[in-house]
Amino acid sequence: MSRTFTRRRTAAAIVTAAVLLPLAACGGNDDSKDDSKKDTGAKSSATGTPKADLTVLAASSLTDVFATAKKTYEKEHPGTKITYSFAGSQELATQVKQGAPADALVTADTKTMDGLKSDVGTPKIIAKNRLVIATGKGNPDKVENLKDLSDSKLKVVLAAPEVPVGRYSKQVLDAQKIKVKPVSQEVNVRAVLSKVELGEADAGIVYKTDAATAPGKVQAVDIPDAQNAVASYPAATLKTSKHSAAAAAFVAWLSTPEAQKILQGAGFQKP
């Protein structure tokens, strides 16, 4: 009886082992799969681009188009989040010099970027722009050209000379020997546009792309190419960035066909 019992117990143990071994093997495979799915958080699984929360300092005239670019970039680069800080390029330069925590910089002129050589990586032009005269809806004062801005009856607003668009404005006016006495000098191009939109000024000089953001509120009067100025927009990483690889990836993306389509769709010119 004891021998029979022993034989039965041995047989049961063998069957049990035969059942448990495959299950153990399956369990081991599941653990292995789980490990392979673990994300270190270093790179986006979709693109291989390093994940990061990026802060980008950008010229005010890029406000609308960069909002579109942000949606596209974040969708294509899961795990990356972009936060912008928009201001006049001269203000951005001051922020960089003061050590503001940021990862990339895009200005509306090369002069400002050149003044930050020790703070930025190698810049690359991502877009260009031109000036227009912004007037009130329907152009009630019949402004047709730069010379009309010298009319003392007109309230003209310009950007301050240290602001890129203000410097470009002075450049084109001086070239045509036109003297304009602005009622105010603003800290960035959006402030100039706002003055015209609100009726606080009859006209102002802004970028073509800025006037395009206020359809039905302002009217753009073209300035002939021979009298105009070309604004170049360089982009670069900041040397103090804590996410240098991710910042470099974003700056490089701004020159891709997809990003260029967004920029040119907003009225910016090819680099």
**pLDDT per position as a tens digit, 62-88:** 999 999 999 999 999 999 999 999 999
pLDDT tens column, 210-254? 999 999 999 999 999 999 999 999 999 999 999 999 999 999 999
Buried b vs exposed e over 43-82: b needs ≥16 C-beta within 10 Å?
bbeeeebbbbebbbbbbbbbbebbeebbeebeeebebbeb
What per-residue confidence (pLDDT) applies to 50? 76
What per-residue confidence (pLDDT) applies to 96? 98
Q: What pTM does this model have?
A: 0.81
The angle subtended at Cα 56 by Cα 55 and Cα 58, nearest 5°, is: 150
What is the bridge-based pairing of β-strands 124-136 and 218-222?
Answer: antiparallel
pLDDT tens column, 8-50? 444 444 334 443 334 333 344 433 333 333 333 455 545 567 7
Q: Tell me which CATH code domain 129-230 carries.
A: 3.40.190.10
Q: State the Cα–Cα distance between residues 202 and 196, nearest whole angstrom.
A: 6
Q: Grade residue 4 by pLDDT with cuts at 50, 70 and 90.
A: very low
| Domain edges within the chain | 53-128+232-265, 129-230
Q: Tell me which CATH code domain 53-128+232-265 carries.
A: 3.40.190.10
Please determine whether the domains at 53-128+232-265 and 129-230 fall in the same fold group of CATH.
yes
